[in-house]
Amino acid sequence: MKYKSVFDIIGPVMVGPSSSHTAGAARIGRVARKLFGKQPTKAEITFYGSFAKTYKGHGSDVATVAGILDFDTDDLRLKDSLQIAKDLGMEIEIRTSELLTEHPNTSRICLSEGDATVEVVGVSIGGGKIEIIEINGFDFQLSFHAPTLMVLHRDRFGMIAAVAKVLTAHQINVGLMEVSRLVKGADALMAIEVDSPLSAEVLEEIRQIPHIKEVSLLSFS
């Protein structure tokens, strides 16, 4: 079941006019921002399907940039995001694509500052709910409705067990887990939805595991 909570249906509280094209678009932008971990200097946004056809009318561009600025769906600054981003010196490029995507409301967001980049593909499935289907080329199906631990590591045996061991030691329950890799033996990305927030110490402990390159925790509540 895609929808798990009554608040997916009665909610979110948001600035209008469209839950999929405004609130959902903003949430995809915010996931990209959280994954990037800081304010980018450049944001490249590509809209597909219904997003591409109607983004101006729905303010999907304004909303996506608001998300990239780390604003929530009910943040009244959402309307002024383009000006705020400009004042902060963020360069923004908006493109539309005729490419057919599986879901009608799809956006691709590339955030960068110098050599650091993150690229996210998200779909807005309705009522403000989103799914992230690609992160830096890794395929996923994540909603980020719970705190999610992201671990970039070398594709070696025992990596999942090593991370799970740390979580077990701290009595942290896992709700959902996905691992994705581009090529066998190269880099792989783990996404782990957890039931309780993780402390900085737990994150550091995971970071110390051999072959782990990056660890971050995404939480939106």
Q: Which two tokens stand for residue 157?
A: 């045996």
Closest CB to another protein among residues 104, 181: 104
Binding site for another protein (CB under 8 A): 1-23, 49-50, 53-59, 74, 76, 78-79, 103-105, 124-128, 195
What is the distance between the alpha carbons of residues 209 and 72, in angstroms, rounded to a whole number?
Answer: 34
Beta bridge partners of 96: 47
Give the nearer residue to another protein in terms of CB position, either 7 or 220. 7
For residue 133, what are its two tokens? Answer: 């289907």
Distances (CA, A) of 125 to 2, 106, 186: 9, 9, 32
Are 33 and 135 spatial neighbours (Cβ–Cβ below 8 Å)?
A: no
Instruction: Rank residues 149 and 159 by Cβ distance to another protein and give the closer one.
Output: 149
Q: How far is the CB of 43 from another protein (least distance, A)?
A: 21
Report d(CA 26, CA 13) in Å as an integer: 13
Q: How far is the CB of 125 from another protein (least distance, A)?
A: 7
Residue length of the chain: 221
**How far is Cα 57 from Cα 79, in angstroms, rounded to an integer?**
13
How far is 68 from 120, CA to CA, in rounded Å?
Answer: 12
In angstroms, give the least distance from the CB of 90 to another protein.
21
Q: Please, which residue, 14 or 118, has the CB nearer to another protein?
A: 14
Nearer to another protein, 78 or 166 (CB): 78
Residue 29 CB, nearest approach to another protein (Å): 17
Q: How far is the CB of 176 from another protein (least distance, A)?
A: 13
